[in-house]
Chains A and B, each alone.
Chain A
Amino acid sequence: MPALTINGKTVHVREGAYLLEAIRKAGFSIPTLCNHEALEPWGGCRLCLVDVTRREWDGWKKMVVSCMFPVEDGLVVDTHSERVVSTRKVVLDLLLARCPEAPVIQELARAHGIEQTSYKPNPEPTDCILCGLCTRVCDHIGVSAISSVDRGIGREIAPPFHKAPPDCIGCLACAEVCPTDCIPYKTSDSARTIWDKKFEMVRCPACGRAHITEEQSAYYADRNGVPASYFETCDACKRKEQAATFAGLSLAR
C-alpha cells in the first residue's frame, strides 16, 4: 500500500487510487465540481489542483489535478500551498463571472474569500459550468444523446442540432448528476419532458406509479436481454414480490 505525506500527515491508500481519494482519506477537504465517483475522472474544473513533490526532487514541485494523478509511494502533497490557493481562486473567480447566479458557485467562491468576481460578469448568466458530468454520465449509460458542442467560448452542452435528441431515453441521469441543477425537466404520472423531448411513462401494474419512460424500459430490456415487461413493475413492487416469494419459501421448509 503506497504511503503518502499529505499536508504533513502520513496516509496509506490502495494501489491504483488517485490522489483525490488519498487527500480525502487523510481528512482534508478539497473542492471539486467535475468529479463523480461513478465516472472516470476528467480534469476539467481544475479546482482539485495540488502541489506534489518527492524528497529527491530537491524542492522542485509540480502542480497536478489530484482527481487524475495516480498515487505513488513517497509522494509529498501540499493541498493549500500559496500558488495552489491563488490558482484555485482565479478559477473560482472566473467561474463566478460565468455563473454569477449559481448558488453552488457563489458559496464555493465565498468560502475562498471571493464575494464578487473581479472579471466581467457574464451578460447572459448561465448556471452551466461545462463540467461535462451530464455528457459523461450519458456516455457511460451508453446512450450518448447529448454532447459538448463547438469549442472555446462557443462551447455548450446540447443535443444534436439543438433539437429533441432522438437517442435520449429520458432517464434524467444528466439532470441528477448536474452540480448546479441547471438541466430543466418536468416529470409527472403521465409524461416526462427533458431536452425538449416528450416521453410517455410506464405505470407499475402493481402500485400504479409512473416510474420509468417507455424508451428507458425498451433500452434496458435490449441491453440486458430481458423482456420489456420486466421493467413494467417498479423496483419497490419487485422487492415486495420478492419478499413474498422468499416468505413462501421459508414456509415450505
Chain B
Amino acid sequence: MAIETRKQFEKAVKAAVDKQKKHKAEILVCCGTGCLANGSAKVAEAFAEQIEKQGMDASVGLFSKKTGCHGFCQQGPLVSIQPRGVLYNKVKPEHVPEILEKTVANGEVIQKLLYKNPADRKRVEQYNEIPFYKNQTRVAMRNIGQVDPTDIEDALARGAYAGLAKALFEMKPDQVVDEVAASGLRGRGGAGFATARKWKAARKAEGDRKFVLCNGDEGDPGAFKDRSIMEGDPHSVLEGMVIGAYAVGAHEGFIYVRDEYPLAVVNLTIAIDQARKSGFLGKNILGTGFDFDVRISRGGGAFVCGESSALMRSLEGKTGEPRQKYIHATDRGLFDCPTVLNNVETWADVGTILDRGSKWFASMGTDKSKGTKAFSLVGKVKNTGLIELPMGTTLRHIIYDIGGGILKDRPFKAVQTGGPSGGCVPESLLDLPVDYEKLTEAGSMMGSGGMIVMDDRTCMVDVARYFLSFLVEESCGKCVPCREGLKQMLAIFDDLVAGRGKPGDVERIERLAEGMRLGSLCELGKSAPNPVTSTLRYFRDEYVAHIEHKACPAGTCRDLTAFEILEEACNGCHACAKACPVDAIAGEKKKLHVIDHETCISCGACFDVCPTDAVRFFPKVEITQEVV
C-alpha cells in the first residue's frame, strides 16, 4: 500500500525494523556479479534449502539473504554471518552444512574459510578487522552487502528513503539545493562539477518539462562501482533521484544503464516497482502532491554514451554521438528541456546527505573535495575489489593498506586512475592525497574511480598503447581530431612497441596530443591523449629506450625483449620448461636450462614462474648485435 503521510512512513520503517529484530541470526550471501561468477547463487540456494529443511528459521531465528557486492570480489563467494560478524571466503555449497552446524549452531569458527592476511599469514575472523574493510568509510555504498536489493523492507530498515521523507516533509526545494550545496558534493562521474550548481541552474531554467537522469553507462576498463551500486542498493539511487527531481521541479527521469549490466537492470526494475507501490515514486509521492517517475533505458554498449550529450541523444532514440555544447544541459538537455544528469554514485550520496546532514558529509574529505569516493581497485595488488574512502586518502594508503601491497611484493611502478581519460601516477606521487584537484594536477583525473595498479613489469608505452586501442574503437568518429588522431596516434605506438620508433616520434606524439586536446568536440576526444601525455611526463625515459635503444625496460614488449637463464641461479627445477607455451626451453631436471631464442615468443611465462629468479630479460637487439 502506498505511504501517504509521515506517520505512515514512520510506521512502515518501524515495521521493517521490527521484522529485522526477529532475525536473531542472518547469513548474508554476496550475490554481486563477481561472486555470482564464482558460483554464489548455488551457495545461497544451499543455505535457504538447509535452513528450511532443518527448520532453523523458527527454532533459532536464522534467515539467509542474497545481498549485493561486498566489494572483496577476489575472495568470493563471500558469506557473512551476522550478528557475529564473521566473514567466510571462497565458500562452496558443500561448506553450507558445516557452517550451519558449527558456526551458527555452536558458535565455532571454521578456520579454513577465514580470510588469510597475506601480510602476516594470519587468519582474520571479523569482517571489520580485515584490512580491506577496516580502512573504508562507506557512504554511497552504505547498504551494499547488507541489504537484499530486491526487498524494499530490508532497505527501509537500514534507513532508505529517510532523506527523501525529510526533504518532502520538512524542506522546500530551494532548501534541498542549499543543503546539497553545503555538503560540497561534486559529480562522482569524474569531472567533479558541483552537484548543487547543476541543480540550481536547472531549477532556474524555464520549461514545463524537466528531466532528471542517472548515468549508469560506466564503461572505463576496470571500473565497476556504479554497477555494484545499482545491483546492490538500487533504492539509494532512486531516493537520490526523487530528491533531485523535487529540488529542480522535474517529473520525469531516466536511468541509462549499459547493456552489459543485466543484473543491475533486473534489480533496478524490481526496486522501481516496489518504490511505486510503496509511494516513493509515481503520482503524489508520500502524499505530498509531488509527482515523479523513473524509467530504465538500456544503452547499446557504446563507451561514448557515458558522455552527457551523447547519452541524451541516445535516450532520444538517435545515434549516441556528442553534440557541441555551448548551451548547458541544465537549460537545454534531453529533448531540449532543462535536464540534470548525475552519476549513479552521486545520486546514491544524496539521500544520506539529506538524512544525516550536509555538515556530516562535509566533515569528510579535503578542502574542495568533500565526502567519500568509491574506487574499483584492480591490477597488480594483493586485494582487489570495490572500496570507498574519504577524499584525500593517499594513494599509498589505498594501495598498501587496503590493497595489501603489490602482488609478489614486486616494486610499484604506477597507478592508472580515471580510465581512458585519466593518466598514470608514478611512485614519486604515492603520498598524493586523492581528490579532484590533486589528480588533475598530476596529469590524471578522478574519472569513474577505476584504479589500476601496475608493477615494474608493466611497460608504460604499452599501457598508453592499450588505452589508445580501446579508444580508437570507442570514439564515435564524429570529429576529425579524435577519430583520425587516435588512429594515427595508435599507429605511432604500434611502431614504438615493435621497435620501429624513429627519432622525432616523441615530438610528433606531443604535437598530435595537443591538437586532439584542443580540437576535439567532446571530453572523450579532449582527454583521449591523457594516458599518452601522463606516461610521457613521468616515464619519458621508457619512450626514449623504445625509440633510441629498441629496448623495453619493463621487458614486456615482445618484439623488443629476449629472455635467458642465468647459469649461476638456475637449480634445474624445470618449472620454466613446463610453463613455456612453445617448448622453447630445453634442459633436464637439476641441470641448467636454456632458452632457444628462435622459438621463444617472449611471453615471459618462464620469468614469472622461476622460483630462483634465474630468468633475466634483455633487449632483443643485443642478440642480433652479437651475431653481427
Q: Which residue numbers of A lie inside 8 Å of B, CB to CB?
A: 43-46, 49, 63-65, 68-70, 83, 86-91, 94-95, 97-98, 118-120, 129-130, 132, 147-148, 150-155
Measured between beta carbons, the chain B residues less than 8 angstroms from A120 are: 488, 491
* Selected contact of B519 from candidates A90, A129, A153, CB within 8 Å: A90
Instruction: Name the residue on A nearest B320 (C-beta).
Output: A151
In the complex, are the beta carbons of B478 and A94 less than 8 A apart?
no
How many residue pairs bridge A and B at CB < 8 Å? 106
Cα A154 to Cα B487 in complex, Å, equals 11
In the complex, are the beta carbons of B518 and A83 less than 8 A apart?
yes
Does B81 belong to the interface (CB within 8 Å)?
A: no
Measured between beta carbons, the chain B residues less than 8 angstroms from A94 are: 480-481, 484-485, 488, 515
Q: Which residue numbers of B lie inside 8 Å of A, CB to CB?
A: 302, 304, 319, 323-324, 326-327, 471-481, 483-488, 491, 508, 511-512, 514-516, 518-521
Q: Can you list 7 residue pairs at the A/B interface with Cβ under 8 Å? A: A43-B521, A46-B520, A70-B326, A88-B519, A90-B516, A97-B488, A153-B477
In the complex, are the beta carbons of B475 and A90 less than 8 A apart?
no
Measured between beta carbons, the chain A residues less than 8 angstroms from B302 are: 151
Cα A91 to Cα B516 in complex, Å, equals 9
* Selected contact of A91 from candidates B473, B486, B519, CB within 8 Å: B519
Measured between beta carbons, the chain A residues less than 8 angstroms from B484 are: 94-95, 97-98
Instruction: Name the residue on B nearest A46 (C-beta).
Output: B519
Cα A129 to Cα B475 in complex, Å, equals 16
Measured between beta carbons, the chain A residues less than 8 angstroms from B521 are: 43-44, 46, 65
Instruction: Name the residue on A nearest B324 (C-beta).
Output: A43
How far, in Å, is B619 (CB) from chain A's closest CB? 25
* Selected contact of A151 from candidates B477, B480, B511, B512, CB within 8 Å: B477
How far, in Å, is A149 (CB) from chain B's closest CB? 10
Of the candidates B319, B323, B484, the one having the most CB atoms from chain A within 10 angstroms of its own CB is B484
In the complex, are the beta carbons of B481 and A91 less than 8 A apart?
yes
In the complex, are the beta carbons of A86 and B481 less than 8 A apart?
no
Measured between beta carbons, the chain B residues less than 8 angstroms from A65 are: 324, 521
How far, in Å, is B395 (CB) from chain A's closest CB? 31
Measured between beta carbons, the chain A residues less than 8 angstroms from B514 are: 86-87, 90
Cα A89 to Cα B471 in complex, Å, equals 23
Of the candidates B302, B477, B516, the one having the most CB atoms from chain A within 10 angstroms of its own CB is B477
Cα A246 to Cα B92 in complex, Å, equals 93
Cα A160 to Cα B318 in complex, Å, equals 15
In the complex, are the beta carbons of B319 and A148 less than 8 A apart?
yes
Measured between beta carbons, the chain A residues less than 8 angstroms from B326 are: 64, 68-70
In the complex, are the beta carbons of B319 and A147 less than 8 A apart?
yes
In the complex, are the beta carbons of B319 and A87 less than 8 A apart?
no
Cα A238 to Cα B474 in complex, Å, equals 51
Instruction: Name the residue on B nearest A99 (C-beta).
Output: B484
How far, in Å, is A66 (CB) from chain B's closest CB? 11
Measured between beta carbons, the chain B residues less than 8 angstroms from A130 are: 477-478, 480, 483
Measured between beta carbons, the chain B residues less than 8 angstroms from A98 are: 484
In the complex, are the beta carbons of B491 and A91 less than 8 A apart?
no
Instruction: Name the residue on B nearest A131 (C-beta).
Output: B480
Cα A65 to Cα B506 in complex, Å, equals 28
Measured between beta carbons, the chain A residues less than 8 angstroms from B472 are: 152-153
How far, in Å, is B478 (CB) from chain A's closest CB? 5
Of the candidates A46, A69, A148, the one having the most CB atoms from chain B within 10 angstroms of its own CB is A46
Cα A44 to Cα B476 in complex, Å, equals 11
Instruction: Name the residue on B nearest A67 (C-beta).
Output: B324
Cα A150 to Cα B301 in complex, Å, equals 12
In the complex, are the beta carbons of A43 and B479 less than 8 A apart?
yes
Measured between beta carbons, the chain B residues less than 8 angstroms from A63 are: 518-519
In the complex, are the beta carbons of A153 and B515 less than 8 A apart?
no
Cα A97 to Cα B488 in complex, Å, equals 9
A87-B479 CB under 8 A given contacts A68-B324, A98-B484, A153-B487: no
In the complex, are the beta carbons of A151 and B324 less than 8 A apart?
no
In the complex, are the beta carbons of A119 and B480 less than 8 A apart?
no
A44-B479 CB under 8 A given contacts A90-B485, A151-B304, A151-B474: yes
Measured between beta carbons, the chain A residues less than 8 angstroms from B518 are: 49, 63, 83, 87
In the complex, are the beta carbons of A151 and B476 less than 8 A apart?
yes
Measured between beta carbons, the chain B residues less than 8 angstroms from A150 are: 477
Cα A64 to Cα B323 in complex, Å, equals 13
Cα A181 to Cα B459 in complex, Å, equals 45
How far, in Å, is A160 (CB) from chain B's closest CB? 13
How far, in Å, is A30 (CB) from chain B's closest CB? 14
6 closest cross-chain pairs (CB), A and B: A90-B515, A155-B477, A94-B484, A43-B324, A119-B488, A152-B475
Measured between beta carbons, the chain A residues less than 8 angstroms from B304 are: 151
How far, in Å, is A155 (CB) from chain B's closest CB? 3
> Beyond A120-B488, A153-B487: 6 further Cβ-contacts under 8 Å?
A43-B479, A49-B519, A70-B326, A89-B515, A90-B512, A153-B477
How far, in Å, is A4 (CB) from chain B's closest CB? 15
In the complex, are the beta carbons of A152 and B478 less than 8 A apart?
no
Instruction: Name the residue on A nearest B521 (C-beta).
Output: A43
Instruction: Name the residue on A nearest B476 (C-beta).
Output: A151
Cα A94 to Cα B489 in complex, Å, equals 11
Measured between beta carbons, the chain B residues less than 8 angstroms from A89 are: 515
Instruction: Name the residue on A nearest B490 (C-beta).
Output: A153
Measured between beta carbons, the chain B residues less than 8 angstroms from A153 are: 472-473, 475, 477, 483, 486-487
In the complex, are the beta carbons of B508 and A46 less than 8 A apart?
no
Cα A70 to Cα B328 in complex, Å, equals 13
Instruction: Name the residue on A nearest B522 (C-beta).
Output: A43
In the complex, are the beta carbons of B491 and A119 less than 8 A apart?
yes
A152-B476 CB under 8 A given contacts A90-B515, A120-B488: yes
Cα A152 to Cα B516 in complex, Å, equals 14
How far, in Å, is A39 (CB) from chain B's closest CB? 14
Measured between beta carbons, the chain A residues less than 8 angstroms from B515 are: 86-87, 89-91, 94
How far, in Å, is B311 (CB) from chain A's closest CB? 15
Measured between beta carbons, the chain A residues less than 8 angstroms from B480 are: 44-46, 91, 94-95, 129-130
Measured between beta carbons, the chain A residues less than 8 angstroms from B473 are: 151-154
Cα A128 to Cα B532 in complex, Å, equals 29
In the complex, are the beta carbons of A152 and B483 less than 8 A apart?
yes
Instruction: Name the residue on B nearest A135 (C-beta).
Output: B319
